[in-house]
Amino acid sequence: MAMGRGRRLLRRLLPPCVCVLIPIVLWASSSGRGANGVGTYDQALSSAVGGVVDPFSRAPAVTGGSGQGQRDVVDGKPLVAVYFTGQARSLNRTKCSIDRNLFQPLIARGFQPVVFALGEMDANAGLYQEVLGEKALPAGVTLGGLEVISRPQVAFPRNEPVAGEVSIPHSCYEALRKKPMRWYHSGGGSEKDSKNTLYGAEVLSQLYYRAKVDVMRVEWEKDQGKKFEWVVNARPDNIYVNALPDLTSLPADGTVYVPSWGHGFDPKSSSKVKRRAGLNDRFAFGGADAMSSYHDLYNRLCSETNTIADARMPPKMNFEQMMWWYLAREDVARTVSRVRSIPGEFWFLRLRHGPTSTWPLEHPGHLPPLVKDWPEDKRWEVWSAAARQTWSCDGGRAAEQGECWLRLSAESRAGSTWWRWAVSKFWKSAANRASPGGALDNLFRRRCGLLEA
């Protein structure tokens, strides 16, 4: 009797359960499709920007570099300018990956890296001299110029200018405030003290640094009577996982090379503002002339005689979207003829200032994810590599403690695979409990000595 009731109950419950499970299985199986796990996102990017940015393009093999003819050399080595700007942040912890994955590959390929740095005056500004000073640079790398200044401030009409302080023209600031720029999400307001307005002022200061550091390079060329073939735009807080591609196989022409990920927009969003195409602004390299235009956005925005901050500028752009809009302009295309993805795999994560237990951002539990449609294993692969680069630079017991943390996290993930898969579609925080910032994270870090008991 009881068995008969159980069968009847099973027949009633089975159809609705199957109806619920089938969509979940189909949804899960369709996510992350693509040979490298990022194909869906790259395809959306290529479509969104009309093919000018081609994530799958690869520059033709050109031995010897420049499509404009090789420029000047020092001791037989073509010159490559490497720029660092803004806040030093964690430069003392990213320096090892910079040397290993930027400087050393350039030296090994027969280039002469020359550093130009324009830092922001803050509590960590001393790291510029400590890490990138003439006596601190690795063998084979020379210093072209290093300067640290106060953050540029908006010149309000009624305020007296401060001696020695860089002023951002008020008209330029107002043009962005009226658009306004978009602070991360769609919100942020447009009032004078809103997040969007403050974000716009911060973006202008970052663009100023980029324009000024390029001037430093041009002045060096005039003084030395030599010309650079390549320019690399780096950030001091990037942890580089992969080596810079071989520049001898790429043309130093009008092409700007950017990452194929982290472009600051979502092609699947219901918001028109968020769907607008952008370009990852945290790293780029290219021929010297093209990169000079890349760094000229501040002058183009804030020039009193030739500003592009007009009615044609789209509203509510973030930094990445502004870079795409600028490089896609017809007048800029005279020197930036093409924007292409960096060949092969070239990953990096940001590292904020903090103690040695601070991890790189965009970790496997970070929401939204660094690269959309990435499988979980790929997120862990890149993050673990970046974390190891950081801990190896910290020295002492940092690497041992970090490996302990990764081992505990891996064991937790391996023991809860099916459970995490079941809840990942509707309960992200629970699925990421073993990730950095997750519910179990502090427990793992405390066990490994990364946190005080």
Gap between the Cα atoms of 226 and 229, Å rounded? 10
Gap between the Cα atoms of 66 and 37, Å rounded? 32
Angle at 178 between CA 173 and CA 183, to 5 degrees: 80
Structure tokens at 189: 């307001």
Backbone angles phi, psi at 340, to 5 degrees: -130, 160
Cis bond upstream, residue 368 (ω within 30): yes
The pLDDT value given to residue 89: 93
Give CB contacts under 8 A, 24+ apart, made by 55-60: 55/260, 55/341, 56/341, 57/340, 57/341, 58/340, 58/343, 59/249, 59/250, 59/251, 59/255, 59/257, 59/340, 59/343, 60/251
Gap between the Cα atoms of 93 and 425, Å rounded? 36
Digitized pLDDT (tens) for each residue of the chain, 453 residues in all: 555 665 555 556 555 554 544 444 444 443 333 333 333 334 444 444 333 444 333 333 333 333 344 567 667 799 999 999 999 999 999 999 999 999 999 999 999 999 999 999 999 999 999 999 999 999 999 999 999 999 998 888 766 666 667 889 888 888 888 888 887 665 666 666 777 778 888 999 999 999 999 999 999 999 999 999 999 999 999 999 999 999 999 998 899 999 988 898 888 888 888 889 999 999 999 999 999 999 999 999 888 776 777 767 888 899 999 999 999 888 898 899 999 999 999 999 999 888 877 888 887 777 677 777 778 788 889 999 999 999 999 988 999 999 999 999 888 888 777 777 677 667 766 777 777 777 888 888 899 998 764
Gap between the Cα atoms of 352 and 237, Å rounded? 7
- Inter-residue contact 79 to 229 (CB < 8 Å): yes
Distance of CA 338 to the CA centre of its chain: 20
pTM: 0.83
CA nearest 151: which of 118, 116, 114, 189? 118
Angle between helices 195-224 and 170-178 (to 10 degrees): 130
- Inter-residue contact 180 to 194 (CB < 8 Å): yes
The pLDDT value given to residue 7: 58
The pLDDT value given to residue 69: 42
The CATH fold assigned to 53-341 is Spore Coat Polysaccharide Biosynthesis Protein SpsA; Chain A (3.90.550)
The pLDDT value given to residue 183: 72
For CATH 3.90.550, the residue range(s) in the chain are 53-341
DSSP 31-59: TT-STTS-HHHHHHHHHHTTTSEETT--P
The pLDDT value given to residue 40: 35
The pLDDT value given to residue 48: 41
Gap between the Cα atoms of 289 and 287, Å rounded? 6
Gap between the Cα atoms of 324 and 191, Å rounded? 26
